Amino acid sequence: MTRMKTDVLVIGAGSGGLSVAAGAVQMGAEVVLLEGHKMGGDCLNYGCVPSKALIASGKAAYAQRHSAQYGVADAPGAADYAAAKDHVANVIAQIEPVDSQERFEGLGVQVIREFGHFISPTEVQAGEIVITARRIVVATGSSPLIPPIPGLDSVPYETNETLFDLREPPEHLLIIGGGPIGMEMAQAHIRLGSKVTVIEGAKALGKDDPELAEVVLTSLRDEGVVIEEEAKASQIRGAAGAIEVLTEDGRSIKGTHLLMAVGRKTNTAKLNLESAGVETTRTGIKVDDGLRTTNRRVYAIGDVAGGLQFTHVAGYHAGVIIRSMLFALPSKAKTAHIPWATYTDPELAQVGLTEDQARTVHGDALEVVRFHYTHNDRAIAERKTKGFIKVMVVKGRPVGASIVGYQAGELINLWALALANKMKMSQIAAMVAPYPTIGEVNKRAAGAYFSPRLFDSPMVKRVVGLVQRFVP
């Protein structure tokens, strides 16, 4: 058995772990990084990167079939599914060097390609190595949740960890789970030539504003995706190429392939957290506002911390704990300014409170302003007028923004900035946006907040009248 000591030990080389390792080593700390599987974690290999690459393939096929509106003849847009998967693999390969073992060793990180588990509050064993660390960061992420549906263990199914290895297109893809992953993969596959049925036990895209979610769901239905809501799976049966999902209310839904997309579970089973005095909850590792666990030397970040499960949250968590670990400065993780996006077409994005949440919190003090893409000249030119923005405002400050439409995932950035810095609507309105851009949607939404105050105010009109009469 080999023993070693370090300042910072990071368990898991996903987005959060890599950010901590890179930041800490470049600021002078000794860092050891453990990864028992793939560098880059879920996001690079099975999540954000491959899914967006496959979505891009579907978007290209769809664009060819719908080009007549631009004066260009429609084309068949026939998709080569295996070639689309080659595109996915190529995208991953282009990004891999940034997350590679070689890059991090070049930065000075000692990378050990083994899973780690605690053997004491300050020691972790990885293979034949025992590492003692002043600070330990658990960044082991999450994995697909597989619910105990009767019969599921006897039929073949895909998860996000296996879907991108398929080379033959599913003839009819059944997707259990109507969240972001399910809906993104539904649209990508129907555009690539598969039939798709989504089976959701409650409401599809149920965590988003229902008014905006409905715009997305209507678009998917218009493209041919069948969305079965309030359809809780009670039994699954069949074999490869002939799978049947039965629901509690008696529906029978048949297809050739099955994708499980019902959520995520945190990766804690291999860690032996009890030996470290680290407590867990139903959703993950128990942490305080500073992301410290019940063992003050151990931090948990990203999905495994049991909060919002997004790659950018893991990166944000890394910044929070670096401040605490390396500089002994107070640092807390917040969630009010964290945005998220679903990369369907149209896109769906959110930051801060939804309208319903804002009404619950702020009551009559809430004002909701809207602006529709149909009034944006760039959207008209691009034929991308489906969608709108609504901003929740309290006493002149935005407390939330919801966007559905073209480039919603890009537009939400401005509102994330506004919430993070407690900006006022007047500051958004003061921005000058180049014309014509989709970004004008944000400025016009801010303008919609002030319009009634300026144009419908008797006081403003009296002042203007007086100025015109008496000021030479």
Q: Is 182 labeled as ligand-binding?
A: yes
Q: Is 178 labeled as ligand-binding?
A: yes
Q: How would you class 387 by CB atoms within 10 Å of its CB: exposed for 0-12, middle for 13-18, buried for 19 or more? A: buried
Q: Is 106 labeled as ligand-binding?
A: no
Q: Is 447 labeled as ligand-binding?
A: no
Contact 197, 255 (CB under 8 A): yes
Main-chain dihedrals φ then ψ at residue 281, nearest 5 degrees? -120, -175
CA–CA dist 188, 59 (Å, integer): 7
Q: Is 14 labeled as ligand-binding?
A: no
CA–CA dist 28, 18 (Å, integer): 16
Counting Cα atoms < 13 Å in the Cβ hemisphere of 366 gives 18
Contact 407, 463 (CB under 8 A): no
Q: Is 303 labeled as ligand-binding?
A: yes
18: number of Cβ within 10 Å: 29
- The tokens describing 242, both together, are 């002939």
In 3-state terms, what secondary structure has residue 251? Answer: coil
The string of DSSP codes covering 340-353 is EEE-SSSEEEEEE-
Q: Is 183 labeled as ligand-binding?
A: yes
Report how far apart the first and last C-alpha atoms of the chain are (Å, whole number): 91
CA–CA dist 25, 84 (Å, integer): 38
User: What is the chain's Cα-based Rg?
Assistant: 25
Q: Is 180 labeled as ligand-binding?
A: yes
In the annotated binding site for NAD(+), the residues are 177-184, 200, 263
In the annotated binding site, the residues are 52, 116, 140-142, 177-184, 200, 263, 303
In the annotated binding site for FAD, the residues are 52, 116, 140-142, 303
